[in-house]
Structures are given as C-alpha cells and as structure tokens.
Amino acid sequence: MAYAYVTNHIPKSTPANRRPGLVMHSNTITIHNTGNASSTAANERAWLTNPANNRTASYHIVVDEREAIECLPLNEAAWHAGDGSGARSGNRTSIGIEICESGNYAKTLDNAAELVARLLKERGWGISQLRRHFDWSGKVCPRLMYDGGKWTGWAAFKAAVEAKMKPKEEPKVNEKPEKADRLEAIVKVNGKELSEKGYVEKGITYVPVRAVAEALGAKVKWDGAAKSVEITR
Ligand SMILES: [Zn+2]
C-alpha cells in the first residue's frame, strides 16, 4: 500500500454531536475536498476534537499524501453531506471521504483513488455509487474537481478509481518453462545435417554427442556406472 491507513476514531463524547452514534447502512461514498490548502490529514483529525471547533461537521476518512485516517466507524453516520438527517440523506447513508489539498496533491489524489477503489470493491459496489458533496446539497465540493462547473477533475477521479478496481492481470503461468527457454538447433557435421537436433539454452549449445561423434568417425562409449561418455578416434 502506498499510504498508511490509520484508525483513530473521535470519542462519542466529542462536542457538537460530531459522532452521533447513529447506525448507518451505507450505499454510497461521498467525496470532498477539505477546503484548506495547508492542512494535513493529521491536522484535520485533530480539528475534529479541538475544543475551539463548535461546528456539527464530521466525516469518516481524511486522506493526504501519506496517510488515510479513519475518524469515525464506517457504519456510523457523520455530518458531511449538508442535507439534514433524514433516513435517505447523504449524512445517513454515505461514507464521507475528505481529500486534503496540502502537500503533493497528485499523490494525495492517487491515494484517495486507491482507498475509494478498495472501499467499493470490499462492498461489491461500482463506480455509480460515488457521489460528490455537490450531489447532496449543491455545495461546490470537492472544489478542486469543480473546474468552473465542468467537473473534469471529477470525471478524471472516477476514471482513476475505475482503473484501480480492474483486476490486475495474472502473470501467465508457463507450463513448460524448460521448453520455452530452449531454442532448437540444427546440427550439421561436414555439411551434412543430422537427424538428431541440438538446442541452445542460456547461451550454451547442447548437441547429441553420439550422433555428432559418430558422424566425425569417432567411437562413443557410455559408461553407465561412471556416468561418463568416452569418445575415441
Ligand atoms: Zn464537502
């Protein structure tokens, strides 16, 4: 894995009801940008339990260039979709992922795509179960994918997730590697091709010694006990 996955849940006692403890049966994943160009995943996680934070806003996972931090259990509701608390609201049905804007953003995006691909696959979900924050409440979020309303970054992100969901091609198992590594060699002695063939393997040419020696007028003796070949002219 190219990034660390850290579980560091905020307590249920966190102020402003940021961890309401409502059981969630999710069926989508919602993507956000943090909206803060300088904060890391660790900063964002710390903010959730910072006493100065009085907003009822939370999410499940925040990801940056080096780690993903799970801040709330994925089967509990969080306040990230901006659409209230109805049974079908994003807040009650969707896993919220915050993508940091700090540091190496290309690496962060790659980590996010990797993370989302894994979450979708684990649940047997497809790319159609991805949502923008925008889809729930109309907020321009994830803002770095907005692109003046064209959302080309969003299309690119979904394509990246889809690519990571494709099963890696299995390396082909070679059934007869010894044959595949060998090149057959025609053996000629004084211009006459022998019916026996030789072969080349790892740069060494092997020839049928009896056929070659006898074609050269030599006598070949195989000593089975000594496992040796004797050639005499
Ligand atoms: Zn958002």
Residues 178-233 pLDDT 10s: 556 788 888 888 888 888 888 888 888 888 888 888 888 888 888 888 888 888 88
Gap from CA of 65 to ligand 1 centroid (Å):
19
DSSP label of 37: T
Gap from CA of 130 to ligand 1 centroid (Å):
13
Structure-block tokens of residue 165:
């969901």
- Return residues with CB closer than 5 A to ligand 1 (ion): 32, 133, 141
Gap from CA of 97 to ligand 1 centroid (Å):
9
Gap from CA of 133 to ligand 1 centroid (Å):
5
Gap from CA of 34 to ligand 1 centroid (Å):
7
Gap from CA of 138 to ligand 1 centroid (Å):
10
Gap from CA of 114 to ligand 1 centroid (Å):
19
Q: How many angstroms separate the Cα of 123 from the Cα of each of 28, 102, 119, 170, 181? A: 10, 29, 6, 23, 43
* Span 126-136, pLDDT tens digits: 999 999 999 99
CA distance 133 to 29: 10
The structural domains of the chain, ordered by start, are 4-165 (3.40.80.10), 179-232 (no CATH)
Q: How many angstroms separate the Cα of 182 from the Cα of each of 53, 68, 199, 210? A: 70, 49, 6, 21
* Span 93-117, pLDDT tens digits: 999 999 999 999 999 999 999 999 9
HEC states along 57-109?
CCCCEEECCCEEEECCCCCECCCCCCCCCCCCCHHHHEEEEEECCCCCHHHHH
Structure-block tokens of residue 76:
């509990």
